[in-house]
Amino acid sequence: MVKNEKLGEQSLTCRARGMTEDITTTHGTVFMASSAELLRQRLPAQDLSRLSLVNHQPRKLKEWVEALPMMNVGETSRLVFQTLQELTRLQVDASERLELLELLRPTVHSLCTALSKHYLNQSVMLPDRATKVATLAQAMQSHLATGYKLAVLASLEKLARKRDPETLRQATTAAHRAISELTGNLLRSTQLYLNTPPNIWMELHTLYLLSAEQQLTLPVADSLNRFTENSTVEEVYIRALLLATCKPNKLRQSEIAQICQLSELWAPLIRLREFSGAGELFVFDLSRDAPPTYRSQAQADASDHVRAIMPTALVEHLNEVLRQAQQGNTKASGESALTPGLLQHLIQAWSELSERSFSRVSHDGTLDISLGLTATHYFLSGKQDFDTMMQGVQNRFMINDADNPFLKAKAVGAQRADDRTGKDVWSMAFGDVETNEQHATKLAFQSQPAEGPDRYDTYQCQIVNISPGGYCVEWSGDVPANVKAGEILGLREAGEAGWSVGVIRWVKQLPGHGAQVGVEVLAPKAKPCGARVVKKTGEASEFMRTLLLPELKAIGRPATLITPTLTFRTGYKLVLKLDDEELKAHLTQQVSTTQSFSQFEFALMRRPSDTAEAAEKIDTQSDDEDFDSIWASL
């Protein structure tokens, strides 16, 4: 039976047994000895002479593992969990314990993978059953790590008496595995947007320090790795450091797992050195239960137990991967699956600290939120049915028309409308313009509400703080499953009529309460529209929901288009449908992308003829449509 403790708060991985977080010794050897003792204090007593379910002879355990009913995940988990618990209390020497743990480890990882489907890709606030399953996975890996820590300490005691090659190999393998399993628990709590389990960093630092002091530098084979066959203790420790410094709360669960796997390849590119105060980006204190942090945010002085992370070589490598991807020269490797958006995120996270552009101000209010592009489009359009919007007037764009610029080579070099008129694309699309038809049509916001209940839900969240750049909100109670980093949002403060557009930048679970969500405002207003891709053959896709965001001259950002992720690419030609007007355009540059949407700059390829009159009307827009004035503070 697994005790249901809160993940990340009182994790089974990290029960405190008198563990202190600060060590004030200054000499490395004294520090190492005290670290080993502190590590020992958290280990269970060795008070069992045998296992209850299986004979602990390695041959017998191997037969037992091979006979486990792996198709029955629940029963197998129960059997393995009980055996792991007992193995941490079994009276055996270091070499036999290590052999038994190595036999169980692949099965533990297989079970954790099978269990993960119950708690990953779920709501941020997990239901009770999913929480128990996640706690079980955390507990199994915790007991596995505990077994390896026992093997580490016992092997180090043998090394102190005689430094023979076999004992050195065993100590190195045990330290490598202990750090790997602790990193697995760190990964799980990170994917669930929980606080780091207490004491986990203290244990990681201690194992690294002990390994460095004893020169446990041999490469260790790991059949569970995906990209590399061998790695050192330092490299597997660096993988934990990379996981902590990649700003994981701004990433989705699948992206966090992807980074953790690829860190097998990246760890050799990272340098660790003693802190000197000379240009280090990240620093961490081996005597504290804390992850690395940006140097500018830390109060660190040069000492024996303060280290710095130098990711320069890794950043250069990722820049090259991004450059090759943009040129279409992708290699068949794990890195080829990294999206440009994720690459840019990692380069930024490991290059410099982005200072907050605006100060936060506490705010007592509520925010109505729509989740996803479909729902946000619905509310921005005044709750109109999308198909009805797209069928508003007769289609005046004939795909096989002789004047179709998409079928002419010279159309590719068409000028941007704002280059020719001095006005931005947003103004042309949103102002009063004359078309080539005899009758002018005003491109106004449609705000006629649909009758009956809303087709999509809105959620009312409490605002924690606010800045011109966005919000921190608290999502109480049940949290929808698509509250994830990178999700597009519609935003409306209490008492306001109009909706703005934002994106979730980070998520943090508040166990028992809900979640805190960081929201960046992309634009104070947006125009709901439709877009379809026009292929070289002249065929076109169906219209899909898109949002037109205004030009923000104050920060030099042109008008952009929010689109679904999969269908649209840089260079694609498309038709934009705004109310009853259809405009031909092509996507010139991808500004950003997440798993939920992409954002593009675009150029119009054909525009209404009477530009001068349109410009006069644009200049007389009311103040509430002057989006530049709203963002003047930027």
| Domain annotation for the chain: domains and CATH numbers | 1-218 (no CATH), 228-236+244-355 (no CATH), 361-367+448-523 (2.40.10.220), 394-444+526-630 (no CATH)
- Strands (E) located in 124-270: 220-221, 230-231
Distance CA 311, CA 267 (A): 9
Question: What mean pLDDT is predicted for residues 572-598?
Answer: 89
Question: According to the model, what pLDDT value does residue 358 have?
Answer: 53
The pLDDT-based confidence of 24 (bands split at 50, 70, 90) is: very low
User: How much is the average pLDDT of 97-119?
Assistant: 97
How far is residue 633's CA from residue 555's CA, in Å, rounded to a whole number? 10
- Residues 137, 114: Cα–Cα separation, whole Å: 10
Q: How confident is the model at residue 30 (pLDDT cuts 50, 70, 90)?
A: very low
Dist CA 126 CA 129 (whole Å): 8
359: confidence class by pLDDT, cuts 50, 70, 90: low
DSSP state of 512: T
Q: What percent of the chain has pLDDT over 70?
A: 77
Task: Give the residues across from 582 on adjacent strands.
Answer: 577
The whole-angstrom distance between residue 110's C-alpha and the CA centroid of its chain comes to: 24
Residue 231: beta bridge partners? 220
List Cβ neighbours of 49 (8 Å cut-off, separation of 6 or more): 90, 91
Residue 126: predicted pLDDT: 86
Overall average pLDDT of the 573-578 stretch:
90
Q: Higher pLDDT residue, 21 or 455?
A: 455
Mean pLDDT score, 385-389: 87
Long-range contacts of 566-569 (CB under 8 A, 24+ apart): 567/533, 567/541, 568/531, 568/533, 568/598, 568/600
Give me Rg for the CA atoms of the chain: 29
Q: Grade residue 617 by pLDDT with cuts at 50, 70 and 90.
A: very low
* % of residues, the chain, pLDDT over 90: 55
* CA separation for the pair 175, 210 (Å, rounded): 9
Identify whether the C-beta of residue 562 lies closer than 8 Å to the C-beta of residue 552: no
If one compares 435 and 521, the residue with the highest pLDDT of the two is 521
Question: What integer is the mean pLDDT of 214-228?
Answer: 96
Give the total residue count for the chain: 634
> Which of 66-70, 530-534, 583-587, 601-605 is the most confident on average?
66-70
Fill in the amino acid letter for 78.
R
| Cα–Cα nearest to 456, from 367, 386, 525, 542 | 386
pLDDT of 51 > 90? The answer is yes
Q: Which of 151-165, 327-341, 572-586 has the highest mean pLDDT?
A: 151-165
Backbone φ and ψ of 492, nearest 5° = -150, 120
Region 11-16: what's the mean pLDDT?
A: 34
Residue 297 tokens read as 């945010």
Q: Given a cut of 80, is residue 265 above it in pLDDT?
A: yes
If you average pLDDT over every residue of the chain, what do you get?
A: 80
Mean pLDDT of 120-144: 92
Averaged pLDDT for residues 93-100: 97
Q: Average of pLDDT values for 503-523?
A: 91
Are residues 525 and 498 in contact, defined by beta-carbon separation less than 8 angstroms?
yes
> What is the mean predicted confidence (pLDDT) over 371-381?
94
Compare 469 and 414 and report the one with higher pLDDT: 469
Which token pair is 225?
Answer: 């790795």
Do residues 548 and 576 touch, judged by C-beta distance below 8 A? Answer: yes
CB 192 within 8 A of CB 126: yes
Best-predicted range by mean pLDDT among 230-244, 304-318, 341-355, 458-472?
Answer: 230-244
- Has residue 103 got a pLDDT over 90? yes
Residue 362, pLDDT score: 72
Amino acid residing at 124: V
Q: In which band, very low, low, confident or very high, does the pLDDT at 225 lie, cut at 50, 70 and 90?
A: very high
For position 19, what pLDDT does the model report?
30
Which one is predicted more confidently, 149 or 451?
Answer: 149
Contact (CB, 8 A) for 435 and 581: yes
pLDDT for 487 equals 95
The label of the residue with tokens 């101000």 reads 361
Q: What is the pLDDT of residue 233?
A: 98
Q: What is the structure's pLDDT at 39? A: 85
Q: State the average pLDDT over residues 297-325.
A: 85
Q: What is the mean pLDDT of residues 70-93?
A: 96
Give mean pLDDT, residues 63-71: 97
Task: Name the strands in the sheet holding 293-294, side by side, starting at the edge strand that comes first in the sequence.
Answer: 271-274, 306-310, 282-285, 293-294
CB 362 within 8 A of CB 464: yes
Cα–Cα distance measured from residue 251 to residue 253, given in angstroms and rounded to the nearest whole number: 7
pLDDT at 354: 58
Q: Where are the beta strands (DSSP E) in 486-606?
A: 488-493, 500-510, 514-523, 527-534, 544-549, 560-563, 573-578, 581-593, 598-604
CB atoms within 10 A of CB 96: 14
Per-residue pLDDT at 333: 78
Give the pLDDT mean for 554-574.
88
Residues 6+ apart with CB under 8 A from 215: none
Q: Which residues, 6+ apart, have CB-to-CB distance to 401 below 8 Å?
A: none
At 33 the pLDDT is: 56
For residues 192 and 130, give the distance between their C-alpha atoms in angstroms, rounded to a whole number: 11
